[in-house]
Amino acid sequence: MGAGFFHSYHLGWTRVDARNLLGDLEAAGLRLAHPVTGRIVLDSRDPGSPGAGGTRSPVSRDQLLSIAGLERLDGIGVRLWVSHDLDVLMRIRRAGRRVVAVEFGLGGLPPEERETAVRAIRETVGRASVLCIGFVVDREGVTAGTDWDGVVVTGTAYLDGWPDAVAVQEDIASRHPQLAVMESVGQSPWRVFGSAVLSV
């Protein structure tokens, strides 16, 4: 079983969207700067791959905000701090010609802190971009092998398991062969599927 995750997908991502998302996450308790050292750390590791690896580089807040809009890069990763010894790895990456994925790794968080992080992320992703086209929450990582870009963005990939919740645009929901026959809840602008719909 892989590490838990929360992914959201956005059209028209800009530096302003990135700045708003990071500010909202901080207001919700996920800090950019380490509570003790005050350092902001870029991390190249994939949030879906637990364990060591990747490179870490300290940056200033201004440096992070200047690159988080992905105007010159295809992706960046940064650590968000829940406490002095617990963090969430966030990666912002291009997931298609016009789509940006914002991925949060939830592995390593105890249940209470994980729920706090999920709530904070869920409250902020829809505000980060007016064009948030969908998201997926899998607290345990059972669907880590699923092509979530292909499910949420294009509606062409199959689910090989069920996450806690997945939200897609109406047109994706109606034409996806698995989602089209599943019960869902409307939460404009999405259809939301899964066993934990009401808790996200």
**What is the Cα–Cα distance from 128 to 6, expressed in whole angstroms?**
15
Residue 50 in this model has a pLDDT that exceeds 60: no
Question: How crowded is residue 78: how many other Cβ atoms within 10 Å of its Cβ?
Answer: 22
Distance CA 61, CA 58 (A): 10
What confidence tens digit (pLDDT) does each residue in 165-181 have? 999 999 999 999 999 99
Measured distance CA(29)–CA(94) in Å, rounded: 26
Quick check: 162 pLDDT over 50? yes
- Dump pLDDT digits (tens) for 94-145: 998 889 999 999 988 999 999 999 999 988 886 766 789 999 999 999 999 9
Residues facing 135 on adjacent strands: 8, 167
40: left (phi over 0), alpha (psi -120 to 50) or beta: beta
Percent residues over pLDDT 90 in the chain: 65
| pLDDT over threshold 50, residue 1 | no
Which residue type occupies 39?
R
The pTM of this model reads 0.89
Spatial separation of the C-alpha atoms in residues 195 and 64, rounded to whole Å? 36
The rounded distance, in Å, linking the Cα atoms of 33 and 81 is 7
DSSP 102-168: EEEE-TT--HHHHHHHHHHHHHHHHHH-TTEEEEEEESS-TTTTS-HHIIIIIS-SPPSS--SEEEE
Q: Can you spell out the DSSP letters for 7-47?
A: EEEEES--HHHHHHHHHHHHHTT-BSS-TTT--EEEE-S-T
Burial 180-192 (b: 16+ CB within 10 A, else e): eeeebeeeeebbb
